[in-house]
Amino acid sequence: MKIAIVCYPTFGGSGVVATELGISLAKRGHEIHFVTYKQPVRLDYLTHNIHYHEVIVPEYPLFHYQPYELALSSKLVTVIKKFEIDILHVHYAIPHAYAGFMAQQMLLEEDIHIPMMTTLHGTDITLVGSHNFYKPAVNFSINKSDAVTSVSDSLKSDTLRIFDIKNEIHVIPNFIDMKNLQKDFENCKRHLMANEDERIITHVSNLRQVKRIDHVIEVFHKIQKEVKAKLIIIGDGPERENASKLAHELGVRDSIIFLGKSNEIERILCFSDLFLLPSEKESFGLAALEAMAHGVPVIASNAGGLPEVIVNNESGFLCEIGDVDAMATHGISLLKDDDKLEKFKTNAETQAWKFDIEEVVPMYEKLYLQMKHST
Ligand code: GMT
């Protein structure tokens, strides 16, 4: 099939999932067309069946806000016609589902019927989309989609609770390519980050408030009183300054390494002993899955879809949101006990296999086929 994928090309989970899905579909023989404003960060090569079409929004001084949706829907019309696309798959409802619907309507004028799948990722529903400023348009475009998927049962329930959705929502979890994981131990340079006798704790996110970086720092502060450790934070975002300030105040700044945005988190995960994800909301927690795939147990909040990914007391621990004491206690119990840590590391990797790409991508293919045959 020829599939056009719309996503955010940035480091956010939805863009990563969309890109990895496109790459995998291309390997399975489909022709993939990414339509977005920048080449997606995880898309480091283009092949005969992976194309990228840039959405350009020219600056015009009259506009206080440049009309990205308009440029995107126009670009979609051009790409869908030129490459005879079979399926339009938009990731993250805002504004992609809305722009996709407009493209569908324009194409209908020329008697071209293109089915659209919308994949809901999390904050498009729970944080941004639920806001009254956007809600009617988000509700409308989800209902106008030919197929709707969500990345967890929890996100499906949130969507049905917050919006008035008439469509069926199919749950297709996020995934990871377990067989092709970068496990290049030559590059696993633990000694550059920590001393032999130190444990390594990692956090990866866009450092937004919802990720509760303050709790990451507080948990680390408590853990390192009992266990020698370093904290590595990967990613960048609005809470970075505050996190650094808090670390100073707690006297742990020298034990924390802020690495910024990275495309090579596996180089850090390969020697990490523990991953922290104390988010306030998390529809799935792709970062947690990536950690587990590298055999890193996760201590996370019992929020959103995280309990669908992490098995409590097996591949990590789930604690109430904000319960930094419980998170630290579990962290210390793991990091102090070699045997327990090894067991949890093995369990984490075993659990990650349940989300292997080979299991999940066929679920999307099946829905694509159903959509294609019903138009
Ligand atoms: O806010 C973010 O964390 C980014 C956001 C995105 O769209 O990139 O992440 C959401 O989608 C990811 C991929 O499906 C999920 O793994 C994250 O849990 C989800 N984030 C939240 O729900 C906060």
Q: pTM value?
A: 0.94
DSSP string of 218-237?
Answer: HHHHHHHHHS-EEEEEEB--
Provide the ipTM: 0.95
**3-state SS of 284-334?**
CCHHHHHHHHCCCCEEEECCCCHHHHCCECCCEEEECCCCHHHHHHHHHHH
**Which ligand 1 atom sits closest to the C-alpha of 208?**
1
DSSP string of 253-273?
Answer: GGGEEEEES-S-THHHHTT-S
Ligand 1: which residues within 6 Å by Cβ? 12-15, 17, 92, 121-123, 151, 174, 206, 210, 281-286
Q: Cβ neighbours of residue 298 under 8 Å, at least 6 residues apart?
A: 274, 275, 276, 277, 285, 288, 291, 292, 310, 315, 316, 317, 348
Please tell me the predicted confidence (pLDDT) of residue 180. 87
CA 10 to chain centroid, in Å, comes to 10
Residue nearest to atom 9 of ligand 1 (CA): 13
d(CA 155, CA 309): 13
Domains of the chain: 2-175+356-373 (3.40.50.2000), 185-353 (3.40.50.2000)
Lookup: tokens for 131? 């806001």
What is the whole-number distance in angstroms between the Cα of residue 165 and the centre of ligand 1? 21
What is the whole-number distance in angstroms between the Cα of residue 173 and the centre of ligand 1? 12
> Which single residue is written with the structure tokens 């499906």?
156
- Whether 265 and 296 have beta carbons less than 8 Å apart is answered as no
Please tell me the predicted confidence (pLDDT) of residue 185. 62
Alpha carbon of 125 to those of 2, 121, 138, 283: distances in Å?
28, 8, 8, 9
10-residue stretch averages of pLDDT, the chain, 375 residues long: 96 91 96 95 83 95 94 98 98 96 98 97 89 94 97 98 96 95 73 90 96 98 98 96 98 96 87 97 97 97 98 98 98 98 98 97 98 88
